[in-house]
Amino acid sequence: MSYTSDLSERSNSSKKLIVFDMDSTLIDAETIDELAKAAGVGQEVSAITERAMKGEINFSQALTERVRLLNGLKLEDAIKALEKMPLMPGAKELVSFVKSRGYATAMVSGGFTLSSERVGKLLGIDHVVSNELIVKDGIITGEVIGSLTAQNSKELVLEEIAAQHGIAPEDCIVVGDGANDICIFKRARYAIAFNSKPILRQHADVVIIEKNLKAVIPVIESFDLDQRCVSCIRNA
């Protein structure tokens, strides 16, 4: 499921787009792990998450297995658990900076709307796309729907959002941390691995090991400078 904020109407004319992952990137937590703790299956789910982020098992398979373990969790308990998740240090500053530079922003997450909508609004993200947990009579059923349930589905979403801004995925910047970001790292003009798993670093243009997103700001500045230099050469 997804939403596009009112802000994006003003940003649709932007020819610059930056796409963020959510879990362990814009927030300092893994949504499904926090839900699992609330459901009393924290260790089981965390082990699957770790294997998925390392690329040891297929993302789609890992998602299905983890969500199934959430069956029976009360919605109110899930919401309480997710409200405690903190933003990643520097998240607000980074998003504010890229917006000041004319970038449209997107958050594309294999996580869930229960957390992504809150995070998107807190940060003023233009496009938010994530999955949705099925809830019946106030209870999570252990099922999930959405456009990001399949392996490499992030790539399709990147294409769709980029098209809205009249640009190609190859002209975008992406920031992520896990194996399920590889597909968009391969497409983007610039790929930034933030405190990432080793499997993602080999596909990155820049690797950030400091756990503060403000460290990404000078990287974006260097990208913009590079783009201006290229433009000057072409127009010379």
Q: Strands 127-136 and 104-112: what pairing?
A: parallel
Helix extents (H) in 101-216: 113-123, 153-164, 182-187, 198-201
**How does DSSP assign 24-49, residue by residue?**
TTTBSS-HHHHHHHHHT-HHHHHHHH
Rounded to the nearest 10 degrees, the angle between the axes of helix 75-83 and helix 31-39 is 130
Check 6, 23, 137, 205 and give the catalytic one: 23
Active site residue 23: yes
Active site residue 126: no
Q: Strands 173-176 and 190-194: what pairing?
A: parallel
Instruction: Yes or no: say if 126 and 105 are a contact pair by the CB < 8 Å rule.
Output: yes
Check 21, 126, 177, 181 and give the catalytic one: 21
Distance separating alpha carbons of residues 214 and 228, to the nearest angstrom: 22
Total residues found in the chain within this entry: 236
Instruction: Yes or no: say if 51 and 110 are a contact pair by the CB < 8 Å rule.
Output: no
At 154, list the tokens: 């992030």
Please give the backbone phi and psi of residue 64, each rounded to the nearest 5 degrees, phi first: -60, -45
Distance separating alpha carbons of residues 140 and 131, to the nearest angstrom: 14
Q: Tell me which residues are annotated as active site.
A: 21, 23
